[in-house]
Structure 1
Amino acid sequence: MTTPGPRHDPAALRAERDAGLARLARLREEHAAFVAASRDSNADDEHDPEGATIAFERAQVETLQRETEARLRDVDAALERVASGAYGVCTVCGRPIDPARLAVRPSATTCVPCASPTRR
């Protein structure tokens, strides 16, 4: 296991978490606006040309919310790995994860070779 150092600076993870929380708040506001818009109208989504748009956009926002929540779970797990000293270590092979990979994807749990589709 490694200890947090310059390569394992959790600041990037915290910044990513803060950005994710802000995005999630915006998505929740959008979703609430779509729900309110459809509640305030007597449109029948099945027969109203605008209704399908509202339903589609609401579904898109719901999907983005789920993806953002999943990303936040990944970041929280990475912060836990930092605290435990396991951050930056591949969960498959146990070797260090390249700092360049962590710079691009701070919540990475595997090294590039282990993440490769040919490895699976």
Structure 2
Amino acid sequence: MDRNTDAIREELQRLRQQTEAQVTALDGDLRNLFEASRASNADDEHDPEGATIAFERAQLSAVLDAARRRLAELDVALHRVDDGSYGVCERCRRPIPAERLAARPSARTCVACADRR
């Protein structure tokens, strides 16, 4: 493995650890919100103070789902580093530009192929 591959792996692992910590924190927040809503008999549907507990729960669930997807994408990217296909478009087999990988390290397609979806 060359230095560049090692650097890519290290960055992907750093992003994975960061995302995994985010998933853990969001999961804890969601559990706490469920517990708080179970312990409360507040009528959140008619609360003049703002968003309902149901809305907060849905919003937090969506953010958690996105973080879990990002974690899975990073796992795939790490596998692609291992098998030598990282940085190569899955559709057209051309190199994925470095700028795209810098912006989205888990990218599996080049910009042209991503636009065709």
When structure 1 is superposed on structure 2, of 80-89 and 25-34 the one drifting more is 25-34
Tell me, in whole angstroms, the C-alpha distance in 2 between the residues paired with 1:78 and 1:64: 21
1:1-55 deviation line (CA, Å, top 9, x unaligned): xx76516721121111111111111111211221111111112444555695222
Q: Distance in 2 between matches of 1:16 and 1:111?
A: 21
Runs of 4+ in 1 over 4 A off after TM superposition: 47-52
> Please, what TM-score do these two structures have when normalized by structure 1?
0.84
More helix as a share of residues = 2
**Percent identity over paired residues:** 49
Query: Which runs of no fewer than 5 residues in structure 2 stay unpaired?
Result: none
Unaligned runs of 5+ in 1: none
C-alpha RMSD over aligned residues: 2.1
> Residues 45 and 52 of structure 2 are in contact (CA less than 8 Å); yes or no, is this contact kept in structure 1?
no
Partner residue, 1:105: 104
Between 1 and 2, higher relative CO (CA 8 Å, sep ≥ 6) is seen in 1
Could you say which residue in structure 2 is the equivalent of 1:13? 12
User: What's the counterpart of residue 76 of structure 1?
Assistant: 75
